[in-house]
Chains A and B, each alone.
Chain A
Amino acid sequence: QVQLQESGPGLVKPSQTLSLTCTVTGDSMSSGSHYWSWLRQRPGKALEWIGHIYYSGSTSYNPSLESRVTISVDASKNQFSLNLNSVTAADTAVYFCGRERLIDYSQDYWGQGTLVTVSS
């Protein structure tokens, strides 16, 4: 059973960096059979893809966030991480991690999501 679990602070101050980690169990990131992704849902908005990483470290980002985003992987720990810098209140959202199919970029497994609030 594949499971993903997000972890990290639930409150971040404006202008600081939002950092989250996703721990994967039930699958090996090193198998190379999927991408590993971050997504978010801001209040009242549609789900938004932030970006993904391959086990090798190759990344792809949403152009609207690319200047502020870094996704990294630690395949030995079966974890991958999100850093979003210079956050504002507009970055308040539920953040999800996902396992993403290589062919059609659908997310076949998700974490339950974690609420991150940006506030002083």
Chain B
Amino acid sequence: QSALTQPASVSGSPGQSITISCTGTSSDIGGFNYVSWYQHHPGIAPKLIIYEVNKRPSGVPDRFSGSKSGNTASLIISGIQAEDEADYFCGSYRRSAPVFGGGTKVTVL
């Protein structure tokens, strides 16, 4: 059982927008503005794409955005592209330690 809950899979056609949810508790997502999102293509290093709920590291396309409401955070990919097909997982902070979601497989149809 993951600390944070994500849907197993999400899909969309090129150009569409998709949203991935990440649900936690008041002890993690709801208690801090510390939500991060990672993109992982199997076999290569995961990549940080969102930190502190809605901030993008340098070089991350602006079609990736993040938000939070209560105990649930969301990653939005606006205008999804073929190269966005990957696994995505969320992270937060609980009791002085990082916690993560189980990951969502994004398929571009």
Contact = CB atoms under 8 A, between A and B. Distances in A.
Given A46-B3, A46-B103, A106 B98 contact: yes
B52 A46 contact: no
B43 A112 contact: yes
B97 interface: yes
B18 to A, nearest CB: 21
Nearest to B47: A110
B38 A105 contact: no
A72 B78 CA distance: 42
B30 interface: no
22 contacts: A37-B98, A46-B3, A46-B4, A46-B89, A47-B89, A49-B99, A96-B45, A96-B46, A101-B51, A105-B34, A105-B91, A105-B97, A106-B36, A106-B48, A106-B98, A107-B38, A107-B46, A107-B48, A107-B91, A110-B47, A112-B43, A112-B44
Interface of A: 4, 37, 39, 45-49, 60, 62, 96, 100-101, 103-113
B101 to A, nearest CB: 6
A49 B45 contact: no
Q: How large is the interface on B (under 10, 10 to 19, 20 to 34, 35 or more residues)?
A: 20 to 34
B64 interface: no
B8 to A, nearest CB: 11
A49 B103 contact: no
Given A46-B101, A49-B100, A109 B34 contact: no
Interface of B: 2-4, 32, 34, 36, 38, 43-48, 51-52, 57, 89, 91, 93, 96-103
B36 to A, nearest CB: 4
Nearest to A60: B96
Contacts of A107: 36, 38, 46, 48, 91, 98
Contacts of A106: 34, 36, 48, 51-52, 91, 98
B38 to A, nearest CB: 7
Given A46-B3, A46-B89, A105 B98 contact: yes
